[in-house]
């Protein structure tokens, strides 16, 4: 009689998990998929406890994002109160999105050439001083200053996000990367909910200006926390530092996307997200809060509650989606398609304008959809983009997002002011969302996959 030992059953179980799709074939050699102890070590709590570098980076993110939502709600509500204009509110979001786009060619190169930790700290310190300038805006004649300060603040974010995203694979192991990305994305959503609620409450009860002060303090605290993060840059020293070399390096990054159409098809999702979902809705929700269901000064509390529901949705959506998809390529892509469907449902429900609870439910669905598209798209890029070009890919992705969101915000503000109405604009968004749903579904079925792993070099 044949005797099967523990090693046999361990290998057989691993083969069964691959054949049934429980884990991708590429991960079968990773022991975290085979033993209970190592599976446990890759959990969320174990990652926070065991990875000191990630713990500091993550803690800085929590502090920074909490105050960031204070600034957004306070500045949007302040402009709406001073101008009573949808175009003026749309202009704020145009500036918030267009400034990062303009600096993106430089931001990606900087993230791939210089210490990424230093970039994150520098941008936090700069934003600390910039947001204090919002305290000077006291009348409609001074609204232009909000646009100028927002442009500087948002331009610094254009450097911050590519560097922050590029650090993540540098400080995590392969089996930790998916969990770290999901946790940081869930944190963004949680802070959106918490910071928006707190920001709306502070702005609606004690006024806009305390919110700006709190925002400045959080940026400074974030910089101090990240400063303590252990980090060793993995970028090669001695590269040509000239401007011409920087331009050539950025063009090489664009060439990488041109040669890897599948990678570009993933990176473009954030652009579509900015055009048809985020940039579109962020102007609409200010108008809904300020004109239809105002609670607090200038509808600040209403706006905060809408952001809360969006944050809850964008937090739970990616976590549930990744629990099903894991790191499997096709499943991640299918969940992105499902994200568009959720956003479509959210817009259709919000367009009824029946009541404020209905608006909040629509915001929840929109948040789930947007979160799935953003987080799982990032996860796919983290898995296939090499380190040497990662900063430029993420900066190009962020540039597409900010450019399209800026166009969408401006167009939405104009549509509202020309009499199309909130319901009409939302229904138009529903029609447009069918385009990416169909195109992405076709690409999932017939598109050619990029199989480059994040640890390989670029030819």
Burial level of 78, CB count in 10 A (0-12/13-18/19+)?
Answer: buried
Long-range contacts of 438-441 (CB under 8 A, 24+ apart): 440/265, 440/269, 440/333, 440/336, 440/337, 440/340, 441/337
pLDDT at 368: 93
CA angle 418-420-425, nearest 5°?
125
Cα separation of 104 and 157, whole Å?
10
Question: Which H or E element spans position 398?
Answer: helix 387-417
Per-residue pLDDT of the chain (459 residues; tens, 9 = 90+): 444 444 444 444 444 443 333 333 333 333 334 344 344 334 778 888 888 888 898 888 888 877 777 777 788 878 888 887 767 877 887 788 788 878 877 777 787 778 888 898 999 999 999 989 988 888 888 888 989 999 998 888 888 888 887 788 888 887 787 788 778 777 776 776 677 677 777 777 777 788 888 888 889 999 999 998 888 776 655 555 555 666 677 677 778 888 888 888 898 998 999 898 888 888 888 888 888 888 877 677 888 888 888 888 888 888 888 788 877 888 899 999 999 999 999 999 988 889 999 999 999 999 999 989 988 888 888 888 887 777 778 878 878 888 888 888 888 878 887 777 788 888 888 899 999 999 999 999 887 876 655 444 333
Contact, 370 vs 277, CB < 8 A? yes
Residue 127's alpha-carbon distances to 90, 104, 378, 387, in angstroms, are 22, 17, 25, 27
pLDDT at 369: 93
Cα separation of 367 and 306, whole Å?
10
Structure tokens at 375: 């987080």
Q: If you ran DSSP here, which 8-state letter would residue 186 be given?
A: H
Burial level of 288, CB count in 10 A (0-12/13-18/19+)?
Answer: buried
Q: Torsions phi, psi of 2, nearest 5?
A: -75, 135
Residue 106's alpha-carbon distances to 78, 97, 235, 389, in angstroms, are 32, 16, 17, 13
Q: Choose among 106, 74, 27, 109: nearest CA to 198.
A: 74
Structure tokens at 448: 């050619």
State the pTM of this model.
Answer: 0.66
For the chain, give every domain's residue range.
Answer: 45-230+241-446
Q: 174-205 vs 209-227: helix axis angle to the nearest 10?
A: 160
pLDDT at 9: 42
Q: Choose among 178, 169, 185: nearest CA to 27.
A: 178
CATH of domain 45-230+241-446: 1.20.1250.20
pLDDT at 246: 64
């Amino acid at each position: 009689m044949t005797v099967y030992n523990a090693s046999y059953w361990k290998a057989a179980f691993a083969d069964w998990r691959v054949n049934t799709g429980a884990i991708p074939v590429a991960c079968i050699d990773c022991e975290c998929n085979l033993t209970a102890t190592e599976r446990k070590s890759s959990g969320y709590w174990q990652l926070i406890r065991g990875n000191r570098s990630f713990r500091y980076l993550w803690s800085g993110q929590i502090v920074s994002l909490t105050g960031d939502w204070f600034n957004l709600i306070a500045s949007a509500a302040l402009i709406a109160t001073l101008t009573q204009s949808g175009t003026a509110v749309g202009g704020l979001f145009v500036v918030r999105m267009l400034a990062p786009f303009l600096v993106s060619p430089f931001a990606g190169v900087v993230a791939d050439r210089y210490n990424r930790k230093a970039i994150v700290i520098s941008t936090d310190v700069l934003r600390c001083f910039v947001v204090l300038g919002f305290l000077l805006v006291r009348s409609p004649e001074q609204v232009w200053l909000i646009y100028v300060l927002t442009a500087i603040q948002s331009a610094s974010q254009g450097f911050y996000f590519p560097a922050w995203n590029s650090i993540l694979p540098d400080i995590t192991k392969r089996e930790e990367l998916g969990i770290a990305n999901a946790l940081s994305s869930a944190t963004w959503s949680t802070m959106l909910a918490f910071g928006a609620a707190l920001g709306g409450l502070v702005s609606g009860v004690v006024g806009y200006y305390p919110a700006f002060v709190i925002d400045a303090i959080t940026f400074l605290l974030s910089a101090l926390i990240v400063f303590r993060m252990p980090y060793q840059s993995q970028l090669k020293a001695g590269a040509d530092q000239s401007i011409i070399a920087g331009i050539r390096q950025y063009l090489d990054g664009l060439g990488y996307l041109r040669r890897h159409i599948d990678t570009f098809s993933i990176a473009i999702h954030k652009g579509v997200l900015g055009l048809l979902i985020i940039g579109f809705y962020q102007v609409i929700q200010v108008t809904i809060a300020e004109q239809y269901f105002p609670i607090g000064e200038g509808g600040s509390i209403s706006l905060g509650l809408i952001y809360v529901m969006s944050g809850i949705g964008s937090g739970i959506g990616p976590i549930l989606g990744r629990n099903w998809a894991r790191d499997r390529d096709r499943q991640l892509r299918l969940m992105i398609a499902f994200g568009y469907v959720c956003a479509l449902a959210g817009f259709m429900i919000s367009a009824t304008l029946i009541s404020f609870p209905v608006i909040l439910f629509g915001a929840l669905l929109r948040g789930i959809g947007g979160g799935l598209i953003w987080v799982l798209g990032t996860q796919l890029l983290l898995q296939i983009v090499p380190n040497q070009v990662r900063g430029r890919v993420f900066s190009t992705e962020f540039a597409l997002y900010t450019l399209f969101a800026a166009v969408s915000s401006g167009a939405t503000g104009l549509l509202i002011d020309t009499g199309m109405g909130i319901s009409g604009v939302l229904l138009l968004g529903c029609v447009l969302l069918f385009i990416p749903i169909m195109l992405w579904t076709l690409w999932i079925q017939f598109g050619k996959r990029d199989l480059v792993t994040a640890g390989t070099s670029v030819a």
